[in-house]
Structure 1
Amino acid sequence: MRSKILYAILAFAQPIVGWGDVGHRTVGYLAQKYFTDQASQWVDNLLANENEYDISDAAVWADAVRYHRHYTEGWHFVDANDNPPESCGVNYKRDCVNGCVISAITNQTSIVLDHSQSTTVQTEALMYILHFIGDIHQPLHAEKLDRGGNEIKVCFDNRCSKENLHSIWDTDIIHKINGLKHTEKHNQEKDAAAKWASQLYSGNQEKGVTSTAEECDNIQDPESCSVQWATETNAYVCSYVLANGIDWLKNNDLGGDYYDGAVPIVESQISKAGLRLAAWVNALAAAAGSDSGFTVQRGRVDL
């Protein structure tokens, strides 16, 4: 029964949007490489199913179910009411009045550690966390202007009719980095994500980043880490994403020099998301395995 319930949950997990399928799958695969043994076992137990869904399938689940659970749509981003490219910044009280990715991470952290919840509910909470820590590292998931760039029509590699700035940061840049065609889906994306995660892991090893020790993992106060991540991510909106102004973005093909400058930002953000997700899951697993009366500061739980 347990595996059938989870199968029903994961059956929705078709590739849709939000860092794109490749981005979220890569974050999951990369995080897995930094899991402690305890975390690996804990995640495997929660995600156990009869159809061999892996952590990358769980990481894309939240994008799929939001079309069935419309109340979750606002959980994927924080609408920073700033003024790019002149000024950027996230203010939690100002920008998260009706719930956002920051409060979502806080809430789901609390739920996944609440032993009074059913295993299915805890599993869903974990899958939300796997996804939202990815989302909070996408620059346009931390910006309100023109609905996070969704209303800024642009061209990318001569494709103009359906392109917008948000979608090229979610998907097109990542697909181009990994040599994927614009229309490739699912298995092609899953294989590409696994390969990219290995490359990013090797790159971290070469830089001397061999653990998650430097990452924020204060699961007793999730808001503090989430605001830090969102603020750091939002800064790229001013420093690069919208730095040239909207008119320039609309009048230049973004598959050239703009893409070249975006690549190191995307790779850095995906890598940070994987490391930070691993640190978070490691801390969650350690807390779940203890009997210390663990509690979470829920902060503004207003979803």
Structure 2
Amino acid sequence: MRIMRAAFASRFDDADPLAALTVGEQPEPGLPGDDWVTLSVTATSLNHHDLWSLRGVGLRAEQLPMILGCDAVGVDPDGNEVVVYPVVPTPGDPRGMSILSEHFPGTLAERVAVPRSNLVALPAGLAATDAACLPTAWLTAWRMLTTKGRIDEAEAVLVQGAGGGVATAAVGLAVAMGKRVYATSRDAAKRARIAELGATAVEPGSRLPERVDVVIETVGAATFDHSLKSAAFGARIVVAGATAGHEPKVNLRRVFAMQLEILGTSMGTPADLADLLAFCAVGKVRPVVDTVVPFSRVADAFARLHSGEVFGKVVVDHTS
């Protein structure tokens, strides 16, 4: 049995998730099916999903230890640099699928097992540490804007709660697509960073100079009324999170009178990921990276994410 270094949940701690993180040795994951392969991981990025796993959300005690991490870039058995699409078929899961680190070992390790069909070629000119940011947060933002939000029909976009991974990705992508972008944040320093990305940064609840065609919602109850009031006739309000409450009050009269669409989404498809990678490579769009740390300091990466001070993605470089 081959042993490898990994970062994993060894127990659950809702009050102090960092205390449940262990960095040490784990067995190399097996191959659940004939179409699965083992990659050598070169870079990963963290998501809040990793902190929730340490709190015990979505995992059971009998699944421990569970290697964390959803996103990765690695080298396949043929020597190709690839980006991992993290959604895998999962018999027994009520959804029929899961993301890596829920039922199968995740990407915060020297090696990870994934279906070969989940591998997307890393485009030339896109660094592994940048591409590792894309498969979860950026892919979700991409699908929110394109497939669900029909951004090609829009001129103006509102992004609620910029600073978080998905929302910051949505700002960067929408600006790169040439749209007028408004973004909210309670934090003055984050509003300044948002403005540097090319968006108009405003405080939550502020009246916008125009109504928008697409609203990106990952906050939830705290901002949803503002999202409704900011939406133009026929606008799409796309929801992929509810970090500040999942039961907002909804003014249904506004919904039908303004013919608004409220659309839910999560992640995207392998084809979406390929399109996103191509868009970033050709357009020279790069994800907002807060911090890059070597794997030897992976615990520091988790502490940075947990601090709440992150703007953009926290990346772990397995090659340094």
Smaller-chain TM-score bracket: under 0.3
Structure number with the higher helix fraction is 1
* TM-score where L is the length of structure 2: 0.23
* TM-score where L is the length of structure 1: 0.24
Please say which structure displays the higher CA radius of gyration: 2
